[in-house]
Chains A and B, each alone.
Chain A
């Protein structure tokens, strides 16, 4: 061939190598989606190489130029894609045209054809270029140059002949090989770089995974085929206590002694594909304490698809477990309570149209109402217990449902054809539409109460009768005592008067004592008669004027008032009260008389009478400036025959206040006393106000 030809060949080879370099430098390092700029730059560079190839051609014979542009363009189309190919095609076409000559058209068409073939092959191959084999590339080379041959047929005759006689065979021998070799170099490079990238990706992925595992709040552990720990993340350290260094390469320390075999079996199961999804296991910590974990695991496979270990995620659910356990226990507790309690609980669901349907009833409730749970669940309340409507409970249920406010009804009677009982009900709403009725059977209690009331009534009646009998007795006794008293006094009087002269003075004196005692007895009997007479006469309660009563009393006591030099004042207006005239007269007469009697001899009595109204009652007060009464006698002085002074100091039998109290009691009022010994007393009588 000659030195020129050899040189051109070498140059071409070099340029073809540079193709490889450009490819690996610019193209395959970057991401899959190449930037437009990348493509343009690659295109330009390739264009330059193609043009360099064309310039560096060798002339086989006049007008017959050879270069490896077909290889370059074909490979450009195949490996670089559309945009770089277009650019390269344009650049080389322009150059070819500028170079001129008769084979220009053919030259350009060869350019275009090669590139096109490359592109078509590329898209058919769908970019798995790194997998292209040498053979395929050779085939590709053949195809490109066949098209080239076809193109050559259109050369002007003499060029054509020259070409086919001289060049065709070498071209068809060498060019496809060049194509294959260059392509193969590019593919290998790509494969290599892909491999590198894959390794890099893998490394990144590994690092990412490791970071996730470390950051995970949940323990993640892997074991190898020998059940030894290969991975132990930070969470595992925290939850279980062992440090990474303590466990790597050793059997899983968290498995309790007695569970080691089950643990191994579990591991085997996992390896054979039966992954654990949320299995609860009891494990232990470094300090010995127990921990409940939820296990999720999977097998780790190696490149050949063989298991090389298992990965497990162990959620510490101890606290949850404890909580669940506590909840279960609590639920049990309340369920037992519900089942065993002695009080009935009925639960209803209230739906549309105010329909109340049984959801449940506890055993006590069933017992009280005499039905079984199965009989009632799902049925309407009024179906099972027709009496609820009349009882009012149905309305209450609806009310509580609508308002959400609980209600308590301590006494309700339930009655239907089958049963009757008294209940104490508490009704409340649970959630949106459940009504709970808690009811206690108080029939027994009610019966007892009724019985008690009856007994009390009986007892009271008995007491009243006894009282009446006693009064009767007091009356007849005092009545009957008068006759003998009359005899005692009478005869004693006769003797002391008639036979005064015949008797020694002592005898006379003694008979006077008898008369005196008889006199006292007479007064006592009279008082007793008065007192016991009070309850016997029928009571006539009417509106009575206090003012009039006071006037009457003062009239009666006129001489006494004068005698004691007393001063009685009425303050303000006195009101009207509901009272019996006779009894009220008695009360006032006695109280005023007392006030006139019990004063220090040197201090004339000053009596102040007033009344006030309060809450439908009238409080009448009689205030005096007398000797007063010590606090400890406040109650006693109202007792019958109770005296605080001797008869010589102040006359009286001790019946006055007893009568006052009895009269006040009979009229349904109250009497009270406040006093300061030495200064005076205030008697207060409370009676119902007369309203007209």
Chain B
């Protein structure tokens, strides 16, 4: 497999920029696609509408999901993904500012693969991104070829 495709589901542009900067800092050269809403994310992953072209819009190997999204929430996106047998296997890492028990409970109930809290400090954030790279992109063995 060539470069792993990462789908970053994040509404806040500044957070997006910081995340991409951190990725650059860490030296991750993966393709990072941005979905700004939950709907867009689902459409992308399921290849709906303009995303039907899987060549240009390949199914992500890792989804970094923020919970705070306009319209349908991150929880719903997670639930959808994990309930659909076509998308169930895709690793989803929730990347959120919320430390709340409630959010964590719902996510784990929905079968989230990992739950990470975004630190305010950029230095710390870079460390987290590095860890993601080390673990999910290097160490973790992903699912077999999923039905695309």
Instruction: Give me the interface of A with B, judged by CB distance under 8 Å.
Output: 479, 482-487, 489-491, 493-494, 518-519, 522, 537
A485 vs B18: C-alpha distance when bound (angstroms): 12
A485 vs B97: C-alpha distance when bound (angstroms): 11
Known: A479-B97, A479-B98, A494-B21. A486 touches B15 (CB 8 A): yes
Q: Return A513 CB to nearest CB of chain B, in Å.
A: 16
Residues on B with beta carbons closer than 8 Å to the beta carbon of A479: 97-98
* Cβ-neighbour of B97 out of A483, A491, A537 (below 8 A): A483
Residues on B with beta carbons closer than 8 Å to the beta carbon of A484: 14
Task: Please state if B15 and A493 are interface contacts (CB–CB under 8 Å).
Answer: no
Task: Please state if A489 and B12 are interface contacts (CB–CB under 8 Å).
Answer: no
Residues on A with beta carbons closer than 8 Å to the beta carbon of B21: 490, 494
* B 52-71 binary contact with A (CB < 8 Å = 1; else 0): 00000000000000001000
Residues on A with beta carbons closer than 8 Å to the beta carbon of B68: 483
Q: Return A378 CB to nearest CB of chain B, in Å.
A: 75
Task: Please state if B122 and A493 are interface contacts (CB–CB under 8 Å).
Answer: yes
A485 vs B118: C-alpha distance when bound (angstroms): 12
Task: Please state if A483 and B122 are interface contacts (CB–CB under 8 Å).
Answer: no
Main secondary structure of the interface of A (DSSP, over half): helix
The chain A residue with its CB closest to the CB of B14 is A487
A522 vs B97: C-alpha distance when bound (angstroms): 12
* Cβ-neighbour of A487 out of B15, B98, B123 (below 8 A): B15
A493 vs B125: C-alpha distance when bound (angstroms): 11
* B 100-125 binary contact with A (CB < 8 Å = 1; else 0): 01000000000000000011111101
A482 vs B124: C-alpha distance when bound (angstroms): 14
* Cβ-neighbour of B18 out of A486, A518, A519, A522 (below 8 A): A486
Q: Return A525 CB to nearest CB of chain B, in Å.
A: 8
A482 vs B99: C-alpha distance when bound (angstroms): 12
A490 vs B123: C-alpha distance when bound (angstroms): 8
A522 vs B21: C-alpha distance when bound (angstroms): 21
Task: Please state if A518 and B98 are interface contacts (CB–CB under 8 Å).
Answer: no
Task: Please state if B125 and A483 are interface contacts (CB–CB under 8 Å).
Answer: no
Task: Please state if B123 and A486 are interface contacts (CB–CB under 8 Å).
Answer: no
Q: Return A313 CB to nearest CB of chain B, in Å.
A: 109
- Beyond A483-B15, A494-B122, A537-B101, 7 additional pairs, beta carbon < 8 A: A479-B98, A482-B97, A486-B119, A486-B120, A487-B14, A491-B14, A519-B121
Task: Please state if A490 and B125 are interface contacts (CB–CB under 8 Å).
Answer: yes
A272 vs B88: C-alpha distance when bound (angstroms): 139
The chain A residue with its CB closest to the CB of B13 is A487
A570 vs B81: C-alpha distance when bound (angstroms): 55
Q: Which of B7-47 contact A (CB under 8 A)?
A: 12, 14-15, 18, 21
Task: Please state if B123 and A518 are interface contacts (CB–CB under 8 Å).
Answer: no
Between A and B, 18 residue pairs with Cβ closer than 8 Å are: A483-B68, A483-B97, A484-B14, A486-B18, A486-B97, A486-B119, A487-B12, A489-B121, A490-B122, A491-B14, A491-B122, A493-B121, A494-B21, A494-B122, A518-B120, A519-B121, A522-B120, A537-B101
A485 vs B14: C-alpha distance when bound (angstroms): 11
A663 vs B59: C-alpha distance when bound (angstroms): 49
Residues on A with beta carbons closer than 8 Å to the beta carbon of B97: 479, 482-483, 486
Across the A-B interface, give the 6 residue pairs with the lowest CB-CB distance, nearest first.
Answer: A487-B14, A490-B122, A493-B122, A490-B18, A482-B97, A522-B120
Q: Return A521 CB to nearest CB of chain B, in Å.
A: 9
Q: Return A485 CB to nearest CB of chain B, in Å.
A: 5
A519 vs B18: C-alpha distance when bound (angstroms): 17
Known: A479-B98, A482-B97. A491 touches B18 (CB 8 A): yes
Task: Please state if A489 and B98 are interface contacts (CB–CB under 8 Å).
Answer: no
The chain B residue with its CB closest to the CB of A482 is B97
Residues on A with beta carbons closer than 8 Å to the beta carbon of B119: 486
Residues on A with beta carbons closer than 8 Å to the beta carbon of B121: 489-490, 493, 519, 522
Q: Return A369 CB to nearest CB of chain B, in Å.
A: 61
Residues on A with beta carbons closer than 8 Å to the beta carbon of B98: 479
A91 vs B69: C-alpha distance when bound (angstroms): 169
